[in-house]
Structure 1
Amino acid sequence: MLRELAPRPLMPGNPYKPMAATVREVIQETGNIKTLRVVLDEPEAMQNFHYEPGQVGQLSVFGAGESTFVINSPPSQREYLQFSVMQAGEVTSAIHRLSVGDRVGVRAPLGNFFPYTDWKGKNIFFVGGGIGMAPIRTIMLHLLEHRADYGRISLLYGAKSPRDMAYSYETEDWLKREDLDCTLCIDNPYEGWPHRVGLIPNVLKELNPSPDNCVAVLCGPPIMIRFTVQALEGLNFAPENIVTTLEKRMKCGIGICGRCNIGSHYVCIDGPVFTWKQLQDLPPEM
């Protein structure tokens, strides 16, 4: 059974109508990932916008369509909304062509969020793979802003190569933080790389985090999720203490179109955040 839907911020007004926004900044993260920082055009809407870590938004390019992305700035960031986009199709290609000053549409916030209040007093072990670092970033920064509420906070972030690692301008600061145990890894040896080398599940086993009073939060490509979950289960993490996110075929974002349904559940409203235990209880079509 899925947990009862927690109260979450909902977008105001007509849920079908995007809010107009303007691109303030574009950051080239990797060869195929860009980060957009956008500001809602209506000052009152921007001032009153509220969301929780893990909630998503529909980012639209007029004439091209819209796609779902996590809002990966922490909720304390009130000056803009940040979305990181991997180029993979028509809509994401249109987003990658945007420049500062261009107009976009935003339907947000949508979906549930990481149950961080349930994690108080616990150790948190984050695992991010590639673009999967986007949702990890928002919840990790949120927890670090409320550091006294949690035990040990750790991060394992991996990518194919250093060139495929997003937020490289932040990772050095993460490595230096005394309140964050940060490990970086890449799949294969790379000249000058000073950190770990190996696939994320294998590096995870080497780090050997204790499952005692610990929640593991992982986001990344499906194959990385599958083998990382196996590694966590091998380390005796209980399914209810493994948390991940899905963005399966989301289209409308409000449970109407049925495109993201899994049995009687919808990723866009029952998710995108799930525990591994919840996912095991869903139909085999997952």
Structure 2
Amino acid sequence: MATGLLALLDDVAALVKASAASLDDVPTQVAKTTGKVSGIVIDDTAVTPKYVVGLDPKREVSIIYQIAKKSLINKVLYLGPAALLLGYFAPGVIPYLLMVGGAYLCFEGYEKVHSLFSKSAHVAADGPPEDLKVITPQELEKERVGSAVRTDFILSAEIMAIAYATVTQSPLANQIVVLVVVAIFITLAVYGFVALIVKADDLGVHMAQERFRPLTRKIGRGLVKSMPTFLVVLGYIGTAAMLWVGAEIIAHGLPFLHHPLESLTHSLEDIPVLGWLVKVLVLALGGTVLGAIIAQVIGLGSKLFRRSTEKTAHEKP
């Protein structure tokens, strides 16, 4: 009986050792995943501040917290388990879902570009008051948070899918730990940095006070003056990143697009920076074109649906 107990203890010790050795790979897998999703993280970081700018400064941190909380909940409770289940039961579906998300990013990016250049996006000063939609600050905040969470959901789905792809050959315990750690780390990193960006002007005002040294005050004033321009530039970068990331996700899932893109990159491998810039430019342009096509299809569908609804209403006695 003692021999049997010792054998059982040996088996338990061996199992514990194997589990510990397996979990030792977690930091490596997390670092590998973080590197692979860097483009999406940049997109998420650059896009989010525009949802906060223009609202009550006292509400900025609260709004960022709301978005970050929902982002983390989506990653940990919905997207992570969904990636595990799909990876086990229907792994072939994941690339297509990613491409749908990429198409949505392209559409959102195109809408941002269109709003910058379209005259119809600006209301004329002498326009009739009834054309203006008046909403309360609370409604505007709710609308901004909802829009930010929707965009973040797509980006988070891409992050969790890529994270899962790096651990498909690992034990289930490793997969779960890596997905949870990646979700927490990236959410804290993205929204912590976003909070710093949004509150940088307040920091500048604090540094510009007379009780500080001249150099500190000068840096503070410079920070306050530069932040509006910085946020505008960051918004442009976020829009470009949205188009670039969305198009890259779609190109990665379609071999007839992925192979030419890789060939283009390899042709400029002697100048890596130039190769990356050309690739990003091609993807951003492609994403804009795809977004425009999707916008036209949605617009046409909306018109047809509206006409059908109106026709049905007129035919009713």
Q: Structure 1 length as normaliser, TM-score? A: 0.22
Answer 1 or 2: which has greater strand percent. Answer: 1
Structure with greater helix percent: 2
Give the greater-gyration-radius structure (CA): 2
TM-score, normalised to structure 2, is 0.20
